[in-house]
Structure 1
Amino acid sequence: MTGRGFSAAFLAFLLFGGWGAVAWGEVPAMPTIMPVPPSGQPPLSSALRTTNPGTEYADLKGSGYVEDEYYMSGVAPAITAQGAILFQLPYITRILVRRPKDPRKFNGTVVMEPFTWIGERGAGWILTKDYLIRQGYAWVGYTLNINKPAQDPKTTTDPDWRPDPEPQDLNFDFMRRFDYARYAPLGTYYDPVRFQRGGHADPFVPQSQGIGAQLALALKSNLPDGPMRGLEVSRVYVDSWAVTAQVWMDYLDQGRHQQWRMPDGRPLIDAYMTGKMSFGEVGGDVIRVPRHMPDDAPFVVVYSESEAMHDAVEQIAVPADSDRPRLRYYEVAGVSHLRLADLGTEEVEDLPADVGKETDPRCRHLYDEPAQMVVSALLDAMDRWVRDGKPMPKAPRFKREGRGIARDPEAGNMIGGVRPAWIEVPAAAYLTDQETGCGMVYDTKVPYTRDKLRSLYGDFATYARRFEAAKSRSVSQGYLLPADAGRLAPIAKPDDF
């Protein structure tokens, strides 16, 4: 990226672009976007990788999709966790684009999400890729990262704690080890002294909000030579999961949705879905609803059992749903914070044997129940709320009990919440790490014994019939799409009986 054309364009951007003074209704500067030269292998987090693929893989070519990687550069504000813009600085990051090759297949919506800082995982893509491709969405993942500091606040907020071993899939260092030619040029500002959150170094990139706004502007502007060239983009949605969801809570809470707009006054972003993140957990304000809720975009939060248990233990009240502003909260039973099915390329997490819990009956069994089907149904409902004005369904919350969540004494599962078929007709008790103390980022389940399965259902045929009925109820409630229902198989198998 040292070519003359890029250098001239970037210099012009530095001199004449950037952000002006903060003002309501301000238009962000347009970033510079250029293709990443080929390096002989697919990009990190590619859905095209067939050799040692991560769970990002999808049959893009067979589905009529293309994948391209670009550098995105510009000047973006450095913003504190408290919302103060201190100064403007250049950055260079990368975006990974997946879009229909045929414009006729495109549904007009781009879903964008920041890659998580652990393994550059595109959690939203992994959870919804089948739905996105089926419905003709475009998707853009983008990097928010830093060079590895001497002490990385992304691994701990305790200054005396030393991880052993140090995680190897964090920061630009990980990306450069993966493919130096591609990722050596990347750089964003970081200063742990000037930027603090909750009394310690802020683990989030100070330029995160500005980078996200500039990307949304570029996507929605229908640039003739931009990453969506040939497609007519009408809507941009944010889909941000796990720790990077905090970036979008900050964005909304600090009023950036209203502040930064398209040149014609339309919002840069038309809907926000965040998931599996307890806002404020890594420091800062513990809030559940942004102070500056948008009046022209839904804000949707999806909790696994782990986040719900966190809030119950901390006695953090979960907000009520509302149609004005458009707010929805979903607590989903039988869904883990992380699954093996969610891991990104070359990402490794501790298993029961790694933490000495392989013989503990409450820690032995990880689970990969198809949470993506629930998430896809919610994303589809959010899309219909934006396009057709049809409000998303409202779901009950888990039943709180003291500093915890009540469990059904017979099934052993949480009471309330969104209840997929594997909870309505269970074959296991689904537990959180707060309850088991297994010490993993994964949650676990305890499968029912043969005697218990027989006492509940008699035989597999009865269990399977009840499971099918539960699937039908999920479809009618809006938590399972008809296109996915046929692929949702019973969790227990005939041999379990």
Structure 2
Amino acid sequence: MRSTPARVALIALTLCCLLTACSGSDDDPGEDEGTGPTALTGGDGIFLASASGATELPDGWTEEELLLEGTATTYTSTNGAPRDGTVALEPGSEALFATRAVVRRPPAADFNGTVLVEWLNVSGGLDADPDFSYLREEILRGGYAWVGVSAQRIGIEGGPVAVGIPAGDAAGAGKGLKALDPERYGDLLHPGDAFSYDIYTQAAAAARDGALLDDLEPERVLAVGESQSGFALTTYANGVQPLTDAFDGFLLHSRGGAQAPLGEPGQGIDIASSILGDPVTVRTDLEVPVLTLETESDVVGVLNYLPSRQPDTDTFRLWEVAGTAHADRHLLGEVADTLDCGGPINDGPHHLVAKAALRALDAWVRDGFAPPKAELLEVEDGAYRRSPDGIVLGGIRTPLVDVPVDVLSGEPASDELTCLLFGSTRPLPDARLAAYGDRASYLRRFEASADAAVAAGFVLAEDREALLAMAQPDRLPE
């Protein structure tokens, strides 16, 4: 897997803006008569943009890249875009496609039966896998198989970049896989984002029947997607899933208030069409579970999830996490230090709660055990209510916000476009830290809060030590 400094910088700055995409066949949406998946080889090897560089897998795991091709359809709505998500879609025009799927799978003996199909994020003008990055530890220790799908046109054919930076040209943003590595990807073909939903359906079908997974025998297929991919999956869940039954559950991660448009043939879907769309909830008559995970940045702010909040039901859960940002230091790694955002970006517990959300969704689908219900972040007159320290009230809590040494926030310290979704980390003054008394008292409180988060089901027991390691007793006076 390739990773240049320029490419890493680009993804760090633009990974989580928002584009979107689309999906079937006129007679039977989701079915296709194309050839089976074949291996993609040669060129410079598998390409996925990542702020943390190449992905190292445990011994026995396999990473490969497969060609998916066939005929895909567009969709049109027969009843507009209902606020409650109950859109009625019908197949439209057809076109040939050839895309790729990156597969990471455990040895058969370790496979837990669940396949995650991630709608790759293209906001930076390059295919990226933010959900694999956030969920990595749980995917690997849990024995999930993961499939990343190049669902959108810009990742393959190139096109306008959502957020440009000086390093973008050198990184190849917006050029598409075919131009970046014609030897490996020259035969790919994407007819436009209007077909992306059906392309995604066909990738899910190939995962479910085992065609993508060699000797593994899948039992469950979950849809996952973060940021712009979450917009697209909201559209998919509301309109396409009722036609295809392609997925057993959905993890809608950091979606905004609107959903993605259905798109036009030969074009990508622009960010403004997604962000500026009307608020839409997830339809309540779906027969599969949906867990929506929102950060502090997502609910109040440019993504404006707030008007799309909806009550929990037998098939829906909403988790909102205090002290988190749409993208953060965990996702960006060392690249976070290169950002000029008026101070450190958010270094909160986003990834810890995301891993708990994945396991909760898997258990919900597998055994029918619904995830715990969560308090929502407190909002009054369109703004967050905050503690005297400036930390948001309500939502899923961890010791990082309840026994703080920093003000972790979804609000950026700078209004620069590239910083809007990275939040901030602001140190508390020494006088405030002195209120904890001694370091031992601080650590006792931190551990008690961590144990409460684990007991509530919002942090996994396996991540308890990682959470405790985030305590900073050395910040307190001797």
- TM-score by length of structure 1 reads 0.77
2:65 is aligned, of 39, 47, 69, to 69
CA distance in 2, matches of 1:337, 1:312: 10
Q: Is 1:283 matched up with 2:262?
A: no
Post-superposition offset of 1:112: 0.7
Alignment partner, residue 126 of structure 1: 133
Q: Which residue of 2 aligns with 1:232?
A: 217
Aligned to 1:257: 241
Give 1:59 shift.
3.6
The change in CA–CA distance for 1:450 and 1:135 in structure 2 (over 3 A counts) is: same
Q: CA deviation at 1:100?
A: 1.0
Q: How many residues were matched structurally?
A: 423
* Structure 2 equivalent of residue 427 of structure 1: 405
CA contact (8 A) 1:271 1:299 kept: yes
Distance 1:339 1:146 in 2: 27
Deviation at 1:56, TM superposition (A): 6.1
CA distance in structure 1 between the partners assigned to 2:205 and 2:156 by the alignment: 31
Deviations along 1:449-475, one digit per CA (max 9) or x if unpaired, are 2222112x1232221221111110011
**Equivalent of 2:393 in 395, 401, 415:** 415
Q: Shift in Å at residue 120 of structure 1?
A: 1.7
The amino acid across from 2:120 in the alignment is F
Give the counterpart of 1:45 among 48, 55, 70.
48
Shift of the alpha carbon at 1:54?
4.4
Name the CA shift for 1:172/1:181 in 2 (closer, same or farther; >3 Å): farther
Alignment of 1:74-473 (within 5 A): 74-79=70-75, 83=89, 85-101=91-107, 103-117=108-122, 118=124, 119-146=126-153, 155=162, 165=166, 167-168=168-169, 173-176=175-178, 178-190=180-192, 205-222=193-210, 226-254=211-239, 256-260=240-244, 267-280=245-258, 282-283=272-273, 285-291=277-283, 293-295=285-287, 297-310=288-301, 316-323=307-314, 326-343=315-332, 352-353=339-340, 363-409=342-388, 411-433=389-411, 437-439=415-417, 440=419, 441-455=421-435, 457-473=436-452
Secondary structure of the residue aligned to 1:94 is strand
Give the conservation status (yes or no) of the 8 Å contact 2:413–2:424. Answer: no
1 or 2, which has the higher helix percentage? Answer: 2
Task: Could you tell me which runs of 5 or more consecutive residues in structure 1 were left unpaired when the two chains were aligned.
Answer: 1-17, 47-52, 157-162, 191-204, 261-266, 358-362
The alignment partner of 2:312 has SS state of coil
Tell me by how many angstroms 1:152 deviates. Answer: 5.4
What is the SS of the residue equivalent to 1:283?
helix
SS of 1:381 mapped into structure 2:
helix
Q: 1:181 to 1:378 in 2, by over 3 A?
A: same
Secondary structure of 2:299's aligned partner: helix
- Kindly, what percent of the aligned residue pairs are identical? 24
State the alpha-carbon separation in 1 of the partners of residues 305 and 352 from structure 2. 29
Describe the superposition over 1:161-203 as per-residue Cα deviations: whole angstroms up to 9, x where unpaired. xx6659446766143454332223222123xxxxxxxxxxxxx
How many Å apart are 1:313 and its aligned residue? Answer: 6.7
Q: Which residue type is aligned with residue 135 of structure 1?
A: G
Give 2:74's aligned amino acid. Answer: A
- Paired residue secondary structure (2:37): strand
Tell me the SS of whatever aligns to 2:201: helix
Matches of 2:304 and 2:413, distance apart in 1: 10
Q: Distance in 1 between matches of 2:305 and 2:444?
A: 39
Instruction: Label 1:120 to 1:148 Cα distance change in 2 as closer, same or farther (>3 A).
Output: closer
Question: What amino acid does structure 2 have at the position aligned with 1:494?
Answer: D
Where 2:71 maps in the other structure, the secondary structure is strand
Once residues 188 and 337 of structure 2 are traced to their aligned partners in structure 1, the CA distance between those partners, rounded to angstroms, is 29
Aligned to 1:198: none
Divergent runs of 4+, >4 A: 80-84, 147-154, 163-172, 311-315, 347-352
CA contact (8 A) 2:251 2:291 kept: yes
Distance (whole Å) between structure 2 residues aligned to residue 185 and residue 496 of structure 1: 59
1:390-427 CA-to-partner distances (Å, cap 9, x unmatched) read: 11110011111112110012x31111001122112111
Give secondary structure in 1 for the equivalent of 2:300: helix
Q: For 1:148 and 1:45, locate their aligned partners in 2 and report how far apart those are by CA, in whole Å.
A: 10
CA deviation profile, 1:96-118 (whole Å, cap 9, x unmatched) = 001112x1111111001011002
Closer, same or farther: CA 173–152 of 1 in aligned 2, 3 Å: closer
* TM-score normalised per structure 2: 0.80
CA contact (8 A) 2:154 2:160 kept: no
Aligned partner letter, 1:388: D
- Offset, 1:306: 0.8
Q: C-alpha distance in 1, partners of 2:157/2:250?
A: 34
> What letter matches 1:252 in structure 2?
A
